[in-house]
Amino acid sequence: MNVQWYPGHMTKAKRQMQEDLKLIDLIIELVDARVPLSSRNPDIDQLGQNKSRLILLNKADLADERQNEAWKEYFQSKGFHVVKVDSRNGAGMKTIQNVIQEACKEKIERDRRRGIKNRPIRAMVAGIPNVGKSTFINTFAGKACAKTGNRPGVTKGKQWIRLNKNVELLDTPGILWPKFEDQEVGIRLAFVGSIKDDILNMEELALKLIDYLKARYTGLLEKRYGISEAGNAVEILGGIAKARGCLKKGEELDYTKASGLLFDDFRGGKIGRITLEWAEQEKN
Ligand code: G4P
């Protein structure tokens, strides 16, 4: 988690993805439902040509339900199969089984025409760090699923998790790299905690988050902290510091502490279900 990316990391991740893609029929791509575009790497579209595609809007429990629906439609309109999930509590897992069959319909039909029977669909999970890949694999595969052994010659060194007689999942997820070239992407990934906090200016980030919440989710900060949203972002952060007793020696407000508290609350879903990128703005 919270990997810092350098060109070397990217090349290695890409090479590994290319190798693993040779083994599979379906890519189960996880995105963070709060930042569905910033948590995606569109290179996957090129890498995954000719594969069946399923996008999971993960952490849907933390995101705005209206936006979850809007993003579902958005990705469906681009030709993806989409399921909203909460990998921590298992919501959405049952639906995935059916959607996998639907997404791989052509392959199943192709196999049937060639007289190949009962060849399971092979899938891999992919996504940028911290989107919930490991959590998803654990929840989806569950403890009941036996791991199949290596298959000499074909899948050397690879472990497959047999989900049922129709589907096998590669047990190591494909790691995609975030699109750091776009500064806004970096900021949104920082908001949701997918970039190491210690390299960021948390106060500056907190002010940006406050501006966003005030504009798009008016009233939530007021409700959470019992403060007024009337002032500017610095005043609101000050209000949070006061309300939560974040003080330095001499009664001076501790903005750093208040920023940390704001992010803990936001990332934990305590302020409300919030989406940081709205689908309506992306329709084209
Ligand atoms: P990765 O393999 O893609 O790097 O992600 P990982 O599964 O490690 O998940 C990253 C964090 O996201 C974990 O929290 C995990 O619990 C949380 N998470 C994953 N899926 C969901 C989801 O659908 N909803 C919510 N609310 N959270 C989710 P953590 O704080 O790093 O660890 P932990 O304290 O939960 O163990």
Cα distance between residue 52 and residue 66, in whole Å = 27
Residue percentage of the chain with pLDDT more than 90:
76
Question: What's the 134 CA to ligand 1 centre distance in angstroms?
Answer: 8
Q: What is the mean pLDDT of the segment spanning 114-119?
A: 90
Among 92-101, 246-255, 260-269, 274-283, which is the least confidently predicted range? Answer: 274-283
Name the residue with the closest Cα to ligand 1, atom 17: 132
Predicted confidence (pLDDT) per residue in 122-136, tens digit: 999 999 999 999 999
d(CA 40, CA 15): 18
User: Per residue in 163-178, pLDDT tens?
Assistant: 888 999 998 999 998 8
Q: To test the ligand 1 pocket, which listed residue (130, 196, 266, 270) has its Cβ within 8 A of the most ligand atoms?
A: 130
Phi/psi of residue 229, nearest 5 degrees: -95, 10
Instruction: Identify the H or E element spanning 56.
Output: strand 52-58
Location of structure tokens 């996008």: 55
Give residue 136 CA to ligand 1 midpoint distance, Å.
Answer: 9
Strands 121-127 and 26-32: parallel
Helix (H) / strand (E) containing 127: strand 121-127
Cβ(29) – ligand 1 distance below 6 Å: no
Residue 144 reports pLDDT greater than 80: no
pLDDT digits (tens, 9 = 90+) for 2-47: 456 778 888 898 999 999 999 999 999 999 999 999 999 988 999 9
